[in-house]
Amino acid sequence: MGVLAQFILGFYGSMSYKHIFFDLDRTLWDFDKNSEETLLELYDEFDLNELTDVPAPQFVIEYQTINERLWADYRAGTIGKEELRSSRFKQAFDHIEIEDHGLADRFGEVYLSVCPLKTKLIDGADELLGELHEKYDLHLITNGFEETQHIKIKAAAIGHFFDEIITSEAAGARKPDPKIFELALNRSGAHLKDSLMIGDDHEADIQGAQRFGMDQVHYAPSEEEHASSNATYVVRDLNEIRNFL
């Protein structure tokens, strides 16, 4: 928790929030575990061990590195959705010396059909949503793609917690762009003073909300992220959010 937030909370008691906006990937839906599980399954299904000397765990690392870089480019607006989706597995296959881009395309198609159906959530997410849903209006703001994110939400059985689900694809703007936060307020009927953003990405979720004037909770599990964050509140575990909500 930030120093200012600690002072205000100690002096006035609990904040008077009414609307809570959650990020989805890596905040509620465990993107890393779900993606890794899918990649390992498909490595075996596609018999990649017969085509490369790179073991499955190293392939996962190669893919994750490439995917993160391409997502950063997508958020910056330098590449589009189709280029992101078509490039990441081709580049990952190139890194493990499989030059069959047709195979990479097929691998990517199956990945897109399987991964969103995975249901692992961040520890404590389901219980926290259940509790907060009784006291607040909950919403989602996600930079993910419209169809994919709704599949994840349905498969993980968390859709009933949220009044509004705003994806960057539908909004035509990506966090940290203030346009997506403005749309979220308009659709939810919320006001800045009674709204709180909860997310894991410092640039997209925290800086985006800060620039828009909305209070934030930075879910920062790593010690380095936690120590360097300047969010209104900082937590390493979702269960800590109960301390101020």
Alpha-carbon separation of residue 84 from 20, 70, 219, 243 (angstroms): 30, 6, 26, 39
> pTM of the predicted model, to two decimals?
0.90
Position 15 scores a pLDDT of: 63
**Domain range list for the chain:** 3-30+121-243, 32-117
| Answer CATH for 3-30+121-243 from 3.40.50.1000, 3.30.420.40, 3.20.20.240, 3.40.50.300 | 3.40.50.1000
User: In the CATH scheme, what is the homologous superfamily, with its name and number, of domain 32-117?
Assistant: Putative phosphatase; domain 2 (1.10.150.240)
The pairs formed by 76-82 with CB atoms below 8 angstroms and a separation of 24 or more are 77/174, 81/145, 81/169
CB 59 within 8 A of CB 42: no
pLDDT in tens, the chain (245 residues): 454 454 444 433 456 899 999 999 999 999 999 999 999 999 999 999 999 999 999 999 999 999 999 999 998 889 998 999 989 999 999 999 999 999 999 999 999 999 999 999 999 999 999 999 999 999 999 998 999 999 999 999 999 999 999 999 999 999 999 999 999 999 999 999 999 999 999 999 999 999 999 999 999 999 888 888 999 999 999 999 999 99
